[in-house]
Amino acid sequence: MKSPGSACDTDDGDPFQWDTREDCEVRQILDRIADKWSLLVIALLDQRCLRFTELRRRIDGVSQRMLAVTLRHLERDGLVKRTVHPVVPPRVDYELTPLGRSLHATIQALVDWTETHQGEIAAARSNYDERLTEPAALT
């Protein structure tokens, strides 16, 4: 859904129609915050400041490079603040900005929805997988 008056217009005139064009600014922002690692980073930074190594340790499967790229993108978008402390060895902390904190409630709603419906999704996956292994599905 797009907000009325956004930079992305659709042909049908419906102000709440999803604009899927690649150059749509809303789509670009959604692509960023809903990517594989950003949601996890935002969730972990809620109510606390963490160092890079702490984030990497808490996010299973993220590479050092991908975490660095994700943090840079979130910082560029104004969602994360990076603080470099002038000490040896260098210490860098990350925390949510007020804008990033405003996004956290939306992410929590998504997590709540997922927890509520995880059984239904698991059943749908199981049904789908069973259909794929049936002889008729293989022809």
Q: Give the tens place of pLDDT for each residue, 123-139.
A: 999 999 999 987 765 55
Burial class (CB in 10 A: 0-12, 13-18, 19+), 47: exposed
Structural domain contains residue 76:
yes
The answer to the question of residue 18 being in a domain is no
Q: Is residue 63 part of a domain?
A: yes
Could you tell me the pTM of the whole model? 0.74
Question: How many domains does the structure of the chain reveal?
Answer: 1
Q: Tell whether the model's pLDDT for residue 4 goes beyond 50.
A: no
Q: What is the pLDDT of residues 8-47, one digit of tens each?
A: 554 555 655 666 777 788 888 888 888 889 999 999 999 8
Q: Is residue 92 part of a domain?
A: yes
Q: What share of the chain is helix, strand, coil (3-state, %, to 5)?
A: 55, 10, 35
- What does the mean pLDDT of the chain come to? 86
- Asked, for residue 72, whether it belongs to a domain, the answer is yes
Q: Is 12 inside any structural domain?
A: no
Residue 21: inside a domain: no
Task: Give yes or no for residue 1 having a pLDDT over 50.
Answer: no
- Residue 113 or 23, more confident: 113
Confidence of residue 88 (pLDDT cuts 50, 70, 90): very high
pLDDT at position 5: 44
**Which element (helix H / strand E) includes 130?**
helix 98-133
- 106: containing domain: 34-138
Residue 55's CATH number: 1.10.10.10
Q: Is the pLDDT of residue 58 over 80?
A: yes
27 assigned to some structural domain: no
Residue 2 has pLDDT above 50, yes or no: no
pLDDT the model gives residue 15: 56
